[in-house]
Structures are given as structure tokens and as C-alpha cells.
Amino acid sequence: MREHVTPERRRGTVRDLRRDNRSVLLWSLYFDQPCTRQELSRATGLSPASVSNVVRELIEEGVVAEAGAIDSDGGRPRVLLRMNSDYGYVIGVDVGETRVRVELFDLAMTERARVDSPLDPREHGVTTIVERIHEGLSAVLADAGVDASAVLGVGIGVPGVVEQGDEVLVHGQTYGWEAVPLERLLRAGTDLPLHIDNGANTMGRAEMWFGAGQGAQHAVVCLIGSGVGASIIAHGRTHRGSTSSAGEWGHTTVVVGGRSCRCGSTGCLEAYVGAEAVLDRYGRTPGQDEETALAALLDAAGRGEGDAARVLEETALYLGVGLADLINLFNPERIILGGWAGLLLGERLLPAIRDAARSNSLKHAFSSTSIELGKLGPEAVALGAATLPIELFLNGAQLSVADRRRSAG
């Protein structure tokens, strides 16, 4: 395809028009249900006739169902409509450091089944992970009593960069993965539609759809664990960049020539605010896992023990600087602090973090941003991953159960 100077455009037909209008209606109903045809008309701008036509088709397909009625003031009662949560199912997979989690949700995002497979943190071979995912998919389908053909798709959150080209390649440095064709490997054991994305991005999606990011068009979801990353949302969409590696906030430099980072560079934000780095600074009891150790550090600071308070003060400073960089560069309306360490640190240090961010941001940019804690825990990676097929479905991609059943037939 010939290069484009500005946003890529493609010609449309009346079929596209219908698909897009139906999509407008579905998104509206999905996030605001139940509601009436008249409410849908107001919310979408479509005429009552169009709403009636589109809703009839959706009811015929089983995507939407009537859900009771509201009495009118002497006139015909209004019928309430809702998504049919049993129309189809989605699966979210979280490939974490210590376990692979697989969750099956219905269309209302109600969890129907969950399976966790523990992982040896020293053993992240591709073959192992692929097996665990396959096992998990089979297990949740069985547990939920759901046929594979009823699954709209599987979203998978993985560590590292997910390059979406002719073939999906995963570059997971912390796992030692280099250009792993994960989708192809997974397809060897399942026919379910697969959608693979970076775990920080799927966490970001979860906060945007169901958590602290709801309603924001421009946001950054910052995740702090052992490592540090971010999901950048612009115009309601995840910004991925040209090869889907955007969001490596943890490897932006805050002190040129500063502390060594595990990525091989120096002065990275992660070397100052990543949980592993903070604990290295403070020292920790041998054999203690990071989460316990960080909680202990926070307790020690609360009791005024040793250097704990000073270490946390420094951490809040660097974290604030990192957030200020995002504020100056992106101008988000909201910054959401998440990740297991981000939530722990944030609960205690949010005022200090905000102060540091204010000091390092331009006045005007800072004044139009809020800094908040995420509402969803680290286990929302799978939930966020499950939104990947939901989005395609709501956009009218050829993804309906009927379509998949026809394809299989």
C-alpha cells in the first residue's frame, strides 16, 4: 500500500455504514444497559426507525434481548433491552511471572470459570507456557460447560513487546523470549481466535473499561511491580506505536549516568522506583518475597525505623518525576497508578507523589490532570485481555457465534 502523508483513509460503502451504525448502538447498549429504544435513539443519534431496524436484527441474532418493560404515562410501555450475556463467551489469559491465569467470562464480563497454573519463576520456556495456556483453555471451557464454538475469542496478556505483523511475535526480555511466534504455537493446539497483547496494555484496558480510567479519552495507566511500564491511551485507544513497543516508561532516563538497570542501561526510572530496585536500596530479609518485603518497608516507615522513610521519600520523588514526564509529554486528563507495587506505594505516598509531579510539571499541564490509584488489582490483566475480542465483536468484526458456526459448518 502506498504511503500516507496523514491518517490512512479508505473508501466506504453503505454496508460499512450499517455496520458502523450498528456498532455505535452496540457500544452504547453494552455500557449502559438496560435501556429503551428511545434512549438508544437519543444516545446514538440514530432515528427511531433505524434503531428499531437494527435492534430487530440484533434480537433475531440473539445478541440483544428484551428485559422487561417500563409503563408509559398512558401510552405504549417502553421495552427494556439488554445484551444477551449468554450470546457468547470470551476468555482472558494472563501470563504472569509466577502463574498462568485463564478466565472465562460471559458477555456481561461475569466470570464463569477460572484456572490458575503455577509457574516456577526460573522456568519460562515457551513450550511450558504454551502448554499451560492450552490446558487452561480446555479447563475453563469444561468447568463452564461452554462449547468452543460459543467463544468469541481469547485475549492473552503477555510480558514484553508484542509485534503485530504478518505474524505475531513476542519479545519478552524478562522471559528470555526473542521473536517468539506465540500465536502460531498456540494455534497448533486450539482453533479459538487469539488476540495477544502486552500485559501492561491489557491491564490498562481493564482500568479504562471497568476501573479508574472510565470516561477518560486521554490517560496513562502506570504499572509498578518488579518492573515498571505504562499503557498510553489517546482518544480512548491504546497507543502502540509503529511496532507495538510503546509504553516503556520504566526505561526512560531520570538520571543520566545514574543507577544500573536490569535492562542494561543506566539511570532508568525502573532502577529508582521498581519494587526490586527500592528493596535493593533498603535491604530486605533473605528469602522474603518482594510483596512482603515492600509491605514491611512501608510498615517500618510508619514506625520510623531506620532509613525506611527516607527511601520512600526518595521513591515518591522519582515516581513523581516519572509521572511529570508523562504529564508534560502526553497531557493526559488522568494518570492511573497501578501494579501491585504501585498500589502499595500509592496508598501511603500519593500526596508526596503528587507533590513531586507538580514540582516537575508545567503548571498548566499539571492543572488539567488527576493522579489516582487504580481500582483493579493485578489480576485484572486477564479481564483486560478479555476485552480484546469484545471490542472486535462490538465493532462488528466477523466474530459472531453465528459467523463462527457458519465457518465451522
Partner DNA sequence: CGAGGTTAAATCACGTCATTAATTAAGCCC
Partner DNA sequence: GGGCTTAATTAATGACGTGATTTAACCTCG
Task: Report, in Å, the least distance between residue 394 CB and DNA.
Answer: 16
Which grid coordinates are listed for 78? 417502553
Contact footprint for DNA (CB under 7 A): 11-15, 17-18, 21-22, 36-38, 45-50, 52-56, 69, 71-79
Closer residue to DNA, CB minimum distance, 80 or 352? 80
Closer residue to its own copies, CB minimum distance, 79 or 246? 246
**Phi, psi dihedrals of residue 164, rounded to the nearest 5°:** -95, 95
Closer residue to DNA, CB minimum distance, 36 or 164? 36
- 242 interacts with, out of DNA, its own copies, none, CB within 5 to 8 A per kind: its own copies
Task: Report, in Å, the least distance between residue 391 CB and DNA.
Answer: 20
Closer residue to DNA, CB minimum distance, 56 or 310? 56
Q: What is the DSSP string of 69-130?
A: EE--SSSPPEEEEEE-TTS-EEEEEEE-SSEEEEEEEETT--EEEEEEEE--TT---HHHHH
- Rg over CA atoms, the chain: 23
- 15 interacts with, out of its own copies, DNA, none, CB within 5 to 8 A per kind: DNA
Task: Report, in Å, the least distance between residue 9 CB and its own copies.
Answer: 5
Closer residue to its own copies, CB minimum distance, 128 or 331? 331
Which grid coordinates are listed for 325? 514526564
Q: How far apart are CA 135 and CA 347, in angstroms?
A: 37
- 38 interacts with, out of DNA, its own copies, none, CB within 5 to 8 A per kind: DNA
- 52 interacts with, out of DNA, its own copies, none, CB within 5 to 8 A per kind: DNA
- Element (DSSP H or E) covering residue 348: helix 340-360
Task: Report, in Å, the least distance between residue 190 CB and its own copies.
Answer: 27
- 223 interacts with, out of its own copies, DNA, none, CB within 5 to 8 A per kind: none
- 386 interacts with, out of its own copies, DNA, none, CB within 5 to 8 A per kind: none
Strand residues in 272-383 grouped as ranges (E): 334-338, 370-373
- 402 interacts with, out of its own copies, DNA, none, CB within 5 to 8 A per kind: none
- How many CB atoms lie under 10 A from the CB of residue 285? 8
3-state secondary structure of 89: strand
Task: Report, in Å, the least distance between residue 59 CB and DNA.
Answer: 8
Task: Report, in Å, the least distance between residue 140 CB and its own copies.
Answer: 25
Closer residue to DNA, CB minimum distance, 51 or 376? 51
Cβ 322 vs Cβ 345: under 8 Å: no
- 79 interacts with, out of its own copies, DNA, none, CB within 5 to 8 A per kind: DNA
Which neighbouring-strand residues pair with 117?
100
Q: How far apart are CA 205 and CA 225, in angstroms?
A: 18
Q: How far apart are CA 276 and CA 44, in angstroms?
A: 48
Q: How far apart are CA 117 and CA 95, in angstroms?
A: 10
Q: How far apart are CA 399 and CA 88, in angstroms?
A: 10
CA distances from 384 to 86, 203, 220, 302, 342 (A): 19, 5, 15, 34, 18
Asked if the peptide bond before residue 286 counts as cis, ω within 30 degrees of 0, the response is no
Cβ 153 vs Cβ 193: under 8 Å: yes
Task: Report, in Å, the least distance between residue 82 CB and DNA.
Answer: 13
Task: Report, in Å, the least distance between residue 395 CB and DNA.
Answer: 15
Task: Report, in Å, the least distance between residue 258 CB and its own copies.
Answer: 8
Contacts of residue 15, defined as CB under 8 A and 6 or more positions apart, other chains included, come to none
Closer residue to DNA, CB minimum distance, 24 or 341? 24
- 122 interacts with, out of DNA, its own copies, none, CB within 5 to 8 A per kind: none
Closer residue to its own copies, CB minimum distance, 94 or 325? 325
Q: Look at residues 66, 67, 111 and name the one whose alpha carbon lies nearest to residue 92.
A: 111
Closer residue to DNA, CB minimum distance, 19 or 99? 19
- How many CB atoms lie under 10 A from the CB of residue 406? 10
